[in-house]
Chains A and B, each alone.
Chain A
């Protein structure tokens, strides 16, 4: 078992999938000669050439459409959108075509593309480079949405996404590419559906994904010092959400806090709460709460950004309030 950074894990998944199938390609802005903005395709241009590691012009809408069209005829494109903020420009092709073509063709055609993109807030990038758009992707039938919180997940989810016949959006966190973690030496495919219990506990469940899972693990440590055992559940599959996993955890802890770096409205927290209502309302000992960003475009000034975006102390505070712990 090797320790890899998250970007190295993604790079390894690209390399293995491209070696396995000559119809797997990667495309995006600066993925080739420049080696990828976050190094996720570093060195692969030399290995696979410009026909398979394709540097695109800055035309997100249409290069996504080109990837979808290629996928109609069996190509397996991995599209990198340099920043999820730019994915708005690709929404038409992804939502109106990739997600719907299987359905509206009565199952004749499919668009097995992978779109990966970094998002989230990252040290004063300002309003147009700090989007957390996963809730938008989650609302579209026909599209799978996954988000890795560890290098192992990043590797295995990308491998499965390439092989899966559905369009898959992989939301990566901009601040997490340097995160180190164990990745099995042998090839493996992480299931695209489900959730992962990262820490077991009996008093409250902290639901999160990618960066917020790490906030929750940190918060759980602080809560343990107060005698509270928090369960940390990682929702690596955002669409579909793991109804059974959410239910089972709430049945164990009877309390739920959903921690989401995005703004609250129409978000992951709302969706998880709805699932709790539908699946296990009478198992609750307290009303579930959300820890989210303020509903503002992300400000630039560091002090403003700090008060707009959650951190582990917000999670600890929410748990203390829920459990009636003073101080």
Chain B
């Protein structure tokens, strides 16, 4: 990877970090409701994979920790923030919330809040791409705990039997809500679990964005060229709780501090400084610029956005095209 691309990724990851921290603040100030699942610590997973894929062309789907994946596909961060605020200018018009960010025009096909639910949805999108003969692939980002759902096994089986062009990215952050992988899962290396389905698989360091990019390049090329599935496990860690209601009693401070030494943003920044491609001053200036964008543009866009019209509360339940319902054909 060349230096410019690394700098670009640093900027994307730092922006995502600051964006999520801003969500945290808004939540604490009760400006946003519901459940909020934040991404700090895992940024290299999403941006490393998407840097090897075709954002806006490939179809991406994920779980409820979805803000950053949407942004990585090209969703407008202001619209994502406005969705958290429950505003009409939000990415789902205020109908979705934090766990249901959608930007279908950018091929970000949504955040879903039933663990393991997106596995078959991703395989289904891949089936459609296969039927239509399109070059795009489907990419499914989920956590390690999703692999303990039946949908994981059923979908791996069908994706393999039917040769579907889908990349499964497992962001293994070692915890399913508050239960560690050691306490819940018989095989700790998630990529080994798909061997029984004859799916190509690999593992990479999810804190090192360059390593993720390299592993994802192989994975994406495999899926795009062979039109068969691939499973990529990324070992990572979330720096915050599962959601904002997480008391954090299930992890030791030692463990958390150890992982924070491997902060993906700092690792890349330090590497660039060591290469002589970036100074600490450059980094600070970049950070200030990103924070200013969030404070001056993104948060005000959300705060000043209009509320959804209460007259629309029943909109979007069923299709407005009632020809088939009414027999007007």
Contact = CB atoms under 8 A, between A and B. Distances in A.
Given A66-B120, A191-B325, A193-B325, A57 B154 contact: yes
Nearest to A96: B114
A196 to B, nearest CB: 12
B121 A106 contact: no
Interface of A: 23, 25, 51, 54, 56-57, 59, 61-75, 92-93, 96-97, 101-110, 112, 141-142, 144, 160-161, 163-166, 189-194
B302 interface: no
> Taking each of A23, A69, A103, A163, which has the highest tally of chain B beta carbons within 10 Å of its own beta carbon?
A69
Given A61-B151, A96-B112, A164-B324, 14 more contacts: A61-B150, A62-B151, A62-B154, A67-B124, A69-B61, A69-B128, A73-B132, A97-B112, A105-B316, A106-B91, A106-B92, A160-B324, A166-B319, A189-B327
Interface in B41-70: 59, 61
Residue among B102, B129, B138, B325 having the largest count of chain A Cβ atoms under 10 Å: B325
B317 interface: yes
A144 B154 contact: no
B131 interface: yes
B128 A59 contact: no
A235 to B, nearest CB: 15
Given A68-B121, A104-B92, A106-B95, A62 B325 contact: no
Contacts, number: 178
Contacts of A163: 323-324, 329
Contact of A72 (B128, B151, B329): B128
B151 A103 contact: no
B127 A66 contact: yes
A57 B161 contact: yes
B319 A164 contact: yes
A299 B161 CA distance: 39
B179 to A, nearest CB: 21
Interface of B: 59, 61, 90-97, 100, 102-105, 109-110, 112, 114, 117, 119-129, 131-132, 138, 150-151, 154-155, 157-158, 161-162, 315-319, 321, 323-327, 329
Contacts of B119: 62, 65
Contacts of B94: 106
A61 to B, nearest CB: 6
B120 A106 contact: no
Contacts of B95: 103-107
A68 B95 CA distance: 20
Contacts of B127: 66, 69-70, 75
A147 to B, nearest CB: 15
Contact of A71 (B124, B126, B157): B124
Given A62-B155, A70-B125, A142 B317 contact: yes
Contact of A73 (B96, B110, B112, B125): B125
B120 A107 contact: no
A52 to B, nearest CB: 8
Contacts of B155: 62, 65-66
Given A101-B110, A109-B102, A73 B129 contact: yes
Contacts of B162: 54
